[in-house]
A = this chain, B = another copy of it.
């Protein structure tokens, strides 16, 4: 794929790439594109002067006071702002776009982005919405790293009539950064992400909020005893609040749909608890193990206990052994 589209030693895929928004995703793209030699020049813009200064220092070849300034003359423009800001940014850059250029985005919702951005895209400019399924709980221009997309999926949701060559080139870029690429319909994307991301985040935020609110259990107790399960929820509940506000405001239908399913299932389990229905609970808790195995086999998570936290925290010390420890007496 990459070779077909002009990579593989034949030089960069794009000349000038403009990153509009300079947070975790954009900064990771910059590091990854540079590491793989995928473009010749990385231009950037963010509203905050402090962010621009960091980007200038760490990963941008040129930094611009306006989005249009960054987009001018770009072969590829990447909209990497919260979903709620996409429309305004698209309107701002439209006059600067050159025919033949490609515009993509990295928003977590696709139908709303298409509705907000497409009307502003001038004739001759290719608009190909996208969404890298990658991220961490950290935000901002210092949080990016070149391997964020490695072995992660990058979804593209091309609109009817998309130019095949422009699509192949963008796909090659994503693959060049280490990602696997899938294409799907924007509506299906929004439903899939409601299940795998949006509702899980909402639930995590809710559980952390409940724990924080409960007067009979102190915050200090919640924090001390969080290793019993709760701490797994707090990671995603520490994600960027603006981004998540926009996700829920713009993927309302799919979120409410999946949330309805979640509530029904939760009520069924609540009823089983109330009635003391052990077999129901046991059967439910058994079948959910298979999905975990599938995720590990697909290389989308580690099999190490506790996500391998011990290794991360201790630099190798205290790493659990999956099998026998030596030096046993009988």
Contact = CB atoms under 8 A, between A and B. Distances in A.
Interface of A: 31, 34, 56-59, 61, 84, 108, 133-138, 142-143, 145-148, 150, 152-153, 155, 182, 191-193, 195-214, 216-217, 219, 221-239, 241-242, 244-246, 248-249, 252, 255-256, 258-259, 261-263, 265-266, 269-270, 272-274, 276, 278, 281-282, 284-295, 298, 300-302, 304-313, 318, 320-325, 328-330
A228 B133 contact: yes
Contacts of A292: 137, 208, 234-235, 237-238
Contact of A328 (B58, B197, B291): B58
A236 B245 contact: no
A233 B230 contact: no
Given A153-B224, A304-B312, A229 B211 contact: no
**What's the dominant secondary structure at chain A's contact region?**
helix
A284 B209 contact: yes
Nearest to A304: B312
Copy number in the complex reads 2
Contacts of A182: 224
A237 B288 contact: yes
5 contacts: A153-B224, A197-B230, A206-B266, A234-B291, A246-B278
A304 B223 CA distance: 17
